[in-house]
Amino acid sequence: MNGAGNDFIAFDRDENPDLVLTAEFIQKICNRYFGVGADGIITVAKAQGTDFAMEYFNADGSTGSLCGNGARCAIRFAREKKKFSASKVKFVCIGENFEGEVISDEIIKFYLQSPTKLQLNFPLNFEGKTINASFIDTGSPHLVIDVAEFGDAALSSFDVAGIGRKLRYHPMFSPGGTNVNFLTIKNTIVHLRTYERGVEAETLACGTGATAVALISHLNSHVNNPVTIIPTSGKQLVVDFIRDGDSISNVSLTGPAEINFAGEIEN
C-alpha cells in the first residue's frame, strides 16, 4: 500500500496468526532490492473495545512512534479486511486510541493527538553556522526548517539525504534523534521533503511530518488552515486543526491511501 507515496507492507494478523515480525525479517522484506520494498510494515487485527488494533514497524525494525500515512493506510486496509464497515472508525496503536474517517474509496482522514514539545524559531548550530529551526512532536518528533536557511538552494535540488542524515543525529535531539523536514511555501501551498528516521532516508511522504510542517507553517508564516501540503511524491495532503490561542486540537490528516498489489511471502 501507499499513502501519498509513503509505502507499506500490510498484514492481517487474523489471517496470519503465526506471523512473527523480527527486526531481521522486517529489514529483509522492506529492502527494495532483495525484498518487497517498503518504508515500513503495518499490521491490523480485531481488538476488543475498538474496531481494530494497528501495529507499525519502521523499515529498520524499530517501533514506538506513530506513522500518520501508515495509520491512514491501516484504516483503508482494515476496512478492506472487513474489520469495520462504517465510514468512521476507532482503533488502537502504541497504546493510544485514535479515530479516522473514510471519505471515499481512496481518501482517508486520520485524527492525530494534540501536538506536544512545540519550540518555535530557536537557533540550531549546524556545521559552524546558526540556522533558524522549529520543533514539534505530532506522534513522532519533527525538526522543521525552511530551505531558505541554507541560502538560495531550491527545495527540488536540496541535499535532503546528506543534510537530513546529519541533523537527524544532532546532539540536541539525542538519544532518540528526530525526523527532519525541509519546506518552502509557494502561494500558500507548503512544499515538503522529509528525511525519516527508522527508514534512514528521504521518503516520498511522511504523514506526521506533513502535520508538523503544516502546524509550524501556520504558526510561523500564517498559512491559513486547512493547510495543503505537497510532499516529494507530488500527492496532496491536507492538514486541518482547531487553534484556540496557544492550544491546538482536533488535528487531522487527509489524503490518498492506495493498494498497490497483493501477494504472498514466506516468513
In whole angstroms, what is the distance from residue 266 CA to residue 51 CA? 28
206 is catalytic: yes
What would the 3-class secondary structure string for 35-59 be? CCCCCEEEEEEEECCEEEEEEEEEC
> Considering 30, 73, 93, 206, which one is annotated as catalytic?
206
Using alpha carbons only, give the angle 30, 170, 122 rounded to the nearest 5 degrees: 125
> Considering 30, 67, 73, 93, which one is annotated as catalytic?
67
In whole angstroms, what is the distance from residue 50 CA to residue 38 CA? 27
Cα 185 from chain centroid (whole Å): 20
What is the CB neighbour count within 10 angstroms for residue 117? 10
**Catalytic amino acids?**
67, 206
